[in-house]
């Protein structure tokens, strides 16, 4: 059995093939351009690597991940130019002709970290990526959280002190939601330069403030046993220590767990992905693998015959 995986992100796609879950053989990364061009580039990679039997896709959203829906696999209301109402799984099915297992890019990354990374052995945890945009995935009680649509942690509303930060935010839907205030793109637009070029401590204290406000909401609602923060912005070394401290301060001792009150324990509570930049694509392969396993025992995997 050969598995394909695509982390179909809004900024870049990561494609990989594997014969064993958790062990990608070849990985390729390329920027997300127009839908047809991006799908064609992915299809070319899989053709060059030899046939795959099943494909797992972790897609940026919002995306319809409910398999019974007539618009399953469609990227819906994204503000990304050219991608609104794109039938992603239809295009991939036409190009590759294999069954597809689909979830969000961040749920796929959470799955990768759950099976092979920083969340092994846990049954409730939270994964967030802070990059060009912000997205989050969660496992609760041993299941990936989906619900009505799928979680959109990046668009949660957080307090915005305009005296401290007059920046309006950049989300086309909400302005100053979490992504609007704290994504890599918002950092670039607020400060005039991208994050890696910014060393002013005020930049990272403000970023840590927004991140901590969001994480406190998640901690209070999901009670995660661990929080994994991926994405390019999280690579800024100053950020995680500041965020851990602000989470502790904002919770103010109300939740009595060492992870939330003891600075040393917090270092193992709010962590970076153990799989690094490969979490999403390893998770996508895992989606394919687990769908295939489910299909072998019942009927958990369905393609979309006819495209």
Distance CA 304, CA 80 (A): 25
Residue with smaller CB distance to Zn ion, 98 or 156 = 156
Give the distance, in angstroms, between the CA of residue 33 and the centroid of all CA atoms in the same chain.
19
274 binding Zn ion? (CB under 5 A): no
Site for Zn ion in 174-233 (CB under 5 A): 174, 177
Query: Cβ distance 244 to 263 under 8 Å?
Result: yes
Query: Cβ distance 36 to 43 under 8 Å?
Result: no
Supply the minimum distance, in Å, between the C-beta of residue 161 and Zn ion.
Answer: 18
Residue with smaller CB distance to Zn ion, 44 or 173 = 173
Give first-to-last CA distance, the chain, whole Å.
22
156 binding Zn ion? (CB under 5 A): no
Count of positions on this chain that bind Zn ion (CB under 5 A): 5
Residue with smaller CB distance to Zn ion, 174 or 304 = 174
Distance CA 268, CA 249 (A): 17
18 binding Zn ion? (CB under 5 A): no
State the Cα angle at 170 between 166 and 173, rounded to 5°: 120
Supply the minimum distance, in Å, between the C-beta of residue 155 and Zn ion.
Answer: 4
Which is nearest to 199 in space by CA: 226, 166, 167, 239? 239
Handedness of CA 28, 32, 37, 42 (dihedral sign): positive
Neighbours of 240 (CB within 10 A): 19
Distance CA 26, CA 37 (A): 21
Residue with smaller CB distance to Zn ion, 99 or 151 = 151
Supply the minimum distance, in Å, between the C-beta of residue 229 and Zn ion.
Answer: 19
63 binding Zn ion? (CB under 5 A): no
Q: Which stretch binds Zn ion (CB under 5 A): 122-130, 150-158, 183-191, 262-270?
A: 150-158
171 binding Zn ion? (CB under 5 A): yes
Supply the minimum distance, in Å, between the C-beta of residue 175 and Zn ion.
Answer: 8
288 binding Zn ion? (CB under 5 A): no
Applying CB under 5 A, the residues found at the interface with Zn ion are 155, 171, 173-174, 177
């Amino acid at each position: 059995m050969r598995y394909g995986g695509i982390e179909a992100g809004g900024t870049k796609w990561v494609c990989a093939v594997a014969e064993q879950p958790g062990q990608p053989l070849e990985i390729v990364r390329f920027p997300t351009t127009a839908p047809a061009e991006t799908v064609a580039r992915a299809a070319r990679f899989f053709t060059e690597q030899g046939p795959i039997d099943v494909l797992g896709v972790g897609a940026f959203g919002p995306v319809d991940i409910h398999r019974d829906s007539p618009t399953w696999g469609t990227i819906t209301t994204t503000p990304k130019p050219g991608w609104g109402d794109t039938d992603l799984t239809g295009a991939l099915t036409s190009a590759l002709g294999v069954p597809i297992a689909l979830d969000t890019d961040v749920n796929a990354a959470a799955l990768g970290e759950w099976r092979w990374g920083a969340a092994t052995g846990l049954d409730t945890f939270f994964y967030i990526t802070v990059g060009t945009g912000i997205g989050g995935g969660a496992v609760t009680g041993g299941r990936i959280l989906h619900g009505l649509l799928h979680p959109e942690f990046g668009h949660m509303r957080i307090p915005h002190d305009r005296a401290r930060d007059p920046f309006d935010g950049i989300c086309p839907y909400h302005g100053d939601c979490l992504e609007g205030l704290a994504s890599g793109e918002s950092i670039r637009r607020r400060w005039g330069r991208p994050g890696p070029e910014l060393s002013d401590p005020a930049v990272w204290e403000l970023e840590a403030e927004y991140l901590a406000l969001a994480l406190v909401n998640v901690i209070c609602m999901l009670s995660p046993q661990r929080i994994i923060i991926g994405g390019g912005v999280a690579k800024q070394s100053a950020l995680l220590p500041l965020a851990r401290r602000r989470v502790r301060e904002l919770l103010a001792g109300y939740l009595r767990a060492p992870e939330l009150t003891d600075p040393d324990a917090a270092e193992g509570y709010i962590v970076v992905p153990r799989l690094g930049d490969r979490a999403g694509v390893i998770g996508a392969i895992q989606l394919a693998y687990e769908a295939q396993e489910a299909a072998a025992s019942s009927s958990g995997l369905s393609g979309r015959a006819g495209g």
